[in-house]
Amino acid sequence: MSEPLAYIVDDDEAMRDALNWLLRSRQVKTATWPSAEAFLAEWHEDLSGCLILDIRMPGMSGLELFDQLQDRRCLMPVIFLTGHGDIPQAVAALKKGAYDFLEKPFDDNSLVDRVIAALAVDSARRSKQIHSDEITARLAQLSPRERQVMQHILAGKFNKVIADEMQIAMRTVEVHRARIFEKMGVRSAVDLAQLLAGIKNQ
């Protein structure tokens, strides 16, 4: 988990420098990249922050980079900058999940406000993701049989009913149940249901 930065990707060095200076004047840490390819080559999922992305660049475009990042489940909010955009392009980007879309020239304060807001969004997303990853790791510790028993538990069934349906002894259900609670770090079926509900709607 790296420190949150605003990542600036633009082939225009003057623009990179201007954005760099602007954001740093508002205490936002930055890193800059001259091309989509260069950024992508160094991207990894633990980079945190947001991405300020020029659309029109030689080689890979901003939109193409965005697609690539989405394919890789990148969580960072993306703010598109464009000097020659149009409404359909803006609408399509936002509907695809981009965080914002600005035309150049832009209002300095407005841009920084949006970057700061995007960083907050990233932070919230990342906290959720860390939590979700932890639960997923616990689930991965369950044996196949435990997983089956867990589904029945979550369906609110009595141990006796579970035993009947799985054609095993009730004592066995109890053993699996205890092991599930232990591995999942919960003390009751309600705790378990709440824990799993918390990652289900993400």
Lookup: tokens for 123: 């932070």
Laid out side by side, the sheet with 78-82 consists of 30-33, 5-9, 49-54, 78-82, 100-103
Between residues 21 and 158, which has the closer beta carbon with respect to DNA?
158
Q: What angle do CA 80, 84, 89 make, to 5 degrees?
A: 55
Residue 74 or 189 with smaller CB distance to its own copies: 189
Report in angstroms how near the CB of residue 193 gets to its own copies at its nearest: 4
- Give residues 7-66 in contact with DNA (rule: CB under 7 A): none
Minimum distance from CB of 37 to its own copies (Å)?
26
Name the token pair of 55: 């659309």
Task: Point out which residues bind its own copies (CB under 8 A).
Answer: 85-88, 90-91, 94-95, 100-103, 153-156, 186-194, 197-198, 200-201
Q: Minimal distance in Å, beta carbon 86 to DNA?
A: 56
Q: Among residue numbers 132 through 161, which ones bind DNA (CB under 7 A)?
A: 143-146, 158-160
Contacts of 95 (CB under 8 A, 6+ apart): none
Exposure on the CB side of residue 129, measured as CA atoms within 13 A: 14
Q: How far is the CB of 195 from DNA (least distance, A)?
A: 15
Residue 49 and residue 5 in contact, taking contact as beta carbons nearer than 8 Å:
yes
- Where does this chain bind DNA (CB under 7 A)? 143-146, 158-160, 166-172, 174-178, 181, 188-189
